Structure 1
Amino acid sequence: MTHYTIKGAVILLVSVASLTLAAFISSPPGTSIVSSAPIDHSSYDRLLKKYVNEKGLVNYKGLKSEEKELKKYLDMISNNPPTSKWSKNDQMAYWINAYNAYTIQLILNHYPVESIKDIGSKIKIPFVTTPWASKFFKIGGESMSLDNIEHGTLRKNYNEPRIHFALVCAAKSCPRLRNEAYEGDKLIAQLDDQGNDFLNNPAKNAITPKKASLSKYFDWYKGDWKENGKSVEDWVNRYSKTKISKDTQISFLEYNWALNEQ
């Protein structure tokens, strides 16, 4: 009886192993067996280092020549959505990278283009008025848009206003596109660095103690900045070298939608 049980267990294990191997061999290119481990962003990191400069401007012409490599990374993104076993920071890093990489792909799909806003007026998809609402990719088999990532996932689930320093919609008034991928184990340091860069760039936030001309982000997402008892002033003072007070006159800069191109 014992011999029979052991033999049966061995046969079962061999069968499971055979089925797993067969599934792996028969899987179409670009698919993956779902893993509980966070994905490797190194291929995307390499592209960013090569085609994005220190100001966050993109060499879209050069990147177009390696579009296949970007698509391989996006296939990995598409087939490996975060699971509950990932840390919160690994999940956020995944979604931020996904947003930025799919935005780059959207630009390449329509390149040359002067502004991402021009795309929405050209593609003419019924009931879709902006490129951010277009469901042009899938994650975990579900059709998604850039809006789904930003508003339906990141803003909805993570309560982290600093994502606004990291998400880049391919416009010059956006925060700089970081020339490295976001990684869960250094995400907080990366977001803080983005905040420092964004708040101290006079083209994006012109700040004096008496008058502050802030990015439209502080107007568009004012509810996010006020979460957890915070205020716009708190967030500005957290990163800006020039501090403001409740008496500071605040206005908002016009948004420059020109393409963030080198």
Structure 2
Amino acid sequence: MKVLSMLFLLSFVVFPKTALDSDAIQPKTAQKVNHMLWTNLLQKHVSNDGHVNYRGFKKDWPALKNYITILGKQTPQSNWSKPETLAYWINAYNALTIDLILRHDPVNSIKDIRNPWKQELWTLDDKTYDLDFIEHQILRKMQEPRIHFAIVCASYSCPKLRNSAYKPDHLNDQLDQAAKDFINDPKRNDLSENSIEISKIFQWFRSDFEQHGSLIDFLNRFADIEVSKNARIRFKNYNWDLND
């Protein structure tokens, strides 16, 4: 009788979960990045025209490194939306590019750095990344050609660096604006109805822009003038001088 009573009492005892319990082995949902620190740095050191004050960034290098550390701890997960993932990698690419320039300061061009896009300098969630991998193996594979107006390679002929972070909730509008700003910038592209001289970005990544029509069809989505489908196309020389 005493044995039965003891078994009855034990049936009500709550034991802590073990590693074998289903709830205990569920992965934690990764916290999504708050990009405000990056916005603060951009507003402080990047003009509305996209000119970058690298000397100023160098004074705030610890804050930039802190942002990169945050990125490393909060990488995109399978439950993130496409805008959340795109915003993460666009901001990461731009922040890492600034960090690359600061690591090799002083330079007059990103091309002064040996293999700048192949340097595996950053660890995000225990995986090492370079800029080339982020651009070609992550961002381009997300089938969003407007990323080419958002990621910036620290050069004059690049699109201007936006002086606030890309945000998932506003990403579509931000990418549209980046495309309009770049395509209609007479320093980067010269557009007329029957003849255009445009950035080599459109030559290098032409297949990205022709997913749903011709290159001119893509340009006409954002251009202030209507370019003829039979317009003559030429490509500008690319100026790799630092965008300072």
Normalised TM-score (structure 2): 0.90
Which is helix-richer, 1 or 2?
Answer: 1
Aligned equivalents of 2:12, 2:36: Cα separation in 1 = 44
Counterpart code for 1:217: I
Residues 1:34 and 1:144: Cα distance change in structure 2 (over 3 Å) = farther
8 Å Cα contact 1:74-1:102 kept in structure 2:
yes
- 1:151-208 Cα offsets, whole Å, 9 max, x none, are 011112x100000010100001000100000111110000000011001100001111
Residues 1:203 and 1:68: Cα distance change in structure 2 (over 3 Å) = same
Match of 1:30 in 2: none
2:94 is the counterpart of 1:89: no
Match of 1:204 in 2: 188
Residues 1:58 and 1:3: Cα distance change in structure 2 (over 3 Å) = farther
Aligned equivalents of 1:163, 1:149: Cα separation in 2 = 12
- 1:194-236 Cα offsets, whole Å, 9 max, x none, are 0110011000011111210011011000111111x32211111
Counterpart code for 2:234: S
CA RMSD between the two structures: 1.9
Match of 2:73 in 1: 79
Match of 1:104 among 79, 95, 98: 98
2:136 is the counterpart of 1:151: yes
Match of 1:28 in 2: none
Match of 2:225 in 1: 242
Gap runs ≥5 in structure 2: 1-6
- 1:6-27 Cα offsets, whole Å, 9 max, x none, are 5324x449xx9xx9xxxxxxxx
- 1:124-143 Cα offsets, whole Å, 9 max, x none, are xxxxxx21011111122111
What is the 5 A alignment of 1:135-214? 135-156=120-141, 158-214=142-198
Counterpart code for 1:234: D
Displacement of 1:4 in angstroms is: 3.7
Displacement of 1:242 in angstroms is: 1.6
Give runs of ≥4 in structure 1 deviating > 4 Å.
none
Seq. identity, %:
42
Aligned equivalents of 2:104, 2:28: Cα separation in 1 = 32
Aligned-partner SS, 1:36: coil
Match of 2:41 among 37, 47, 53: 47
Residues 1:34 and 1:251: Cα distance change in structure 2 (over 3 Å) = farther
Displacement of 1:244 in angstroms is: 0.8
Residues 1:258 and 1:6: Cα distance change in structure 2 (over 3 Å) = farther
Aligned equivalents of 2:57, 2:242: Cα separation in 1 = 15
8 Å Cα contact 1:37-1:86 kept in structure 2:
no
Displacement of 1:5 in angstroms is: 5.0
2:50 is the counterpart of 1:56: yes
8 Å Cα contact 1:209-1:248 kept in structure 2:
yes
Aligned-partner SS, 1:7: coil
How many residue pairs get aligned? The number is 232
